[in-house]
Structure 1
């Protein structure tokens, strides 16, 4: 990492960090994409079961990953202040915390899984697939959380290509394991959608093993003596990470959970066809969202490094560059989705009714792309400032006091049906984008005054 002097140099540095993050995020999304497509080829019930399982797992995963994301600004600020000796301690404590959180997620999930699925009352076959998909996936939860800590360790130093290499290396394993477990090839048990869960859980172990191998092989990483020297667990260090990570995690949770809640409500209120169609739109939209999400992650690194080095003018330039790029990219993606929505849906399912409904739902998804790009980029900038508490309340109000209630009312008391829930998502994302923008303007002015005094 370095402080770029000119706007051209800043653009070069930003792109240098961004493209490996983007490939990493797309590769991660490819795992869910492959799960969904392959499960859909087995049958509508398998697709719906994986949809429900994924909708329950997604907010948990993204929320916990948000807690781990605190590592990125912590390291970026330490580097900006030339406190490199603090990095090993930050990572060791984050790994301890990741293991504790992973154990808690498994235990709590084991207690709540059946009650939640019973409340949803899906068809018996869908219930069975969803439950055992999550059981299979749970074998990889702890290695996944540890891997996320290590990824944020690389990214916080600007070593984004390491994360890219690891994730790209794991994708073929995920595809192969899906091929074996879903369809029962080469003597493996034919598990249908359930097999996608076991394949994904096993892939998370592959990712961790590759991480550990590189830690001992790369000179740039060996110097930190990770997995060699261990600090004692520190409640103070955990508190520092949690004070940043919990608001980030909850903010991401509130955003990602609205999509999960929509899936759960559709499963309760509408047919299996509607659940499958909804999952198609969420799956593809999530893949597209990897672009602005990657921009947001790169923004956290460069803004955090700039703010840590008291270079607020540079932080502002990066902010404008990144947020405008995210909006522009999703504008292009929305145009593509409009013209090819039914062709995209046909990748996932051969059921004509599912494809038709998914094509209609895509029309609503297209509308919120610009808001989604804006709010994601603005969140990334705010994390670079280590400003996370107020954005947490903004997301809570936008998604849960506006988006979900309005969507539910529209779906329940009007003739728009499941489209009403997606209108609620549009309202929630737009409200969040506006709130984050005003917060960034405020915090930027505050930081400038503090530096001047």
Structure 2
């Protein structure tokens, strides 16, 4: 995730450079290439979380019960990785447009989703009864407690919430009207992807190794 975030941060200077040069029409295809890269990185991260976690835990001699719970959590988080990658790409775009506040507010939106979803999915109906009492509907009281797996589902939900909220804001916000990134989707182009990789990968590696 740190590598993804750093790599996609490479979009910020690209957008800022185009904006400063008043080349607004070139911003949309640059953002689209970042979105393609984000989807790819998110998918790769998800596959790694599904396939590589248990072998690593075995090599590290993690206790079986801890490994089982951790793997369950990460397998659920995997579904959110494409979402958080898309959010980071759109955040980098917004930052490059000199509009940094949306990322803060939308992160707080994700937090407001994550906290109650965590409680509900980790502790289930019994947790709700302990917190709110027996007056809650019987349907909610019967919700299963999913533990670490539920925590992962809540995290994935918050990731996708942030991605959808950021997409909505960049579509509706006045700051982005001159760019209109959600019109005429640009297909993958090697030149644009290469520019992002050249700028972003060193940032991603630096953040990963910090």
* Common topology (TM > 0.5): yes
Partner of 2:163: 208
Partner of 1:275: none
1:434-449 matched pairs, under 5 angstroms: none
Distance in 2 separating the partners of 1:252 and 1:167: 20
Shift of 1:164: 1.8
Q: Number of aligned residue pairs: give it.
A: 195
Partner of 2:5: 65
Structure with higher helix content: 1
Partner of 1:156: 96
Match of 2:122 among 182, 199, 202: 182
Distance in 2 separating the partners of 1:164 and 1:254: 25
Shift of 1:163: 1.4
Distance in 2 separating the partners of 1:69 and 1:194: 30
Distance in 1 separating the partners of 2:164 and 2:198: 29
Unmatched 5+ stretches in structure 1: 1-60, 256-453
Shift of 1:87: 1.1
Shift of 1:209: 1.6
Contact 2:54 2:67 in 1 (8 A): no
TM-score, with length taken from structure 2: 0.87
Distance in 2 separating the partners of 1:108 and 1:210: 26
1:405-424 matched pairs, under 5 angstroms: none
Q: Which structure would you say has the larger Rg?
A: 1
Distance in 2 separating the partners of 1:89 and 1:78: 11
Match of 1:102 among 42, 46, 51: 42
Unmatched 5+ stretches in structure 2: 129-139
Q: RMSD value over aligned CA atoms?
A: 1.5
Is the aligned partner of 1:232 residue 2:187? yes
Distance in 1 separating the partners of 2:195 and 2:4: 16
1:1-400 matched pairs, under 5 angstroms: 61-184=1-124, 185=128, 186=140, 187-255=142-210
Distance in 1 separating the partners of 2:4 and 2:72: 22
Q: Deviations 1:194-245 (Å, cap 9, x if unpaired)?
A: 3221110111111112122223322222332223211121011111100111
Distance in 2 separating the partners of 1:124 and 1:87: 49
Distance in 2 separating the partners of 1:65 and 1:180: 29
Distance in 2 separating the partners of 1:144 and 1:162: 15
Contact 2:83 2:159 in 1 (8 A): yes
TM-score, with length taken from structure 1: 0.41
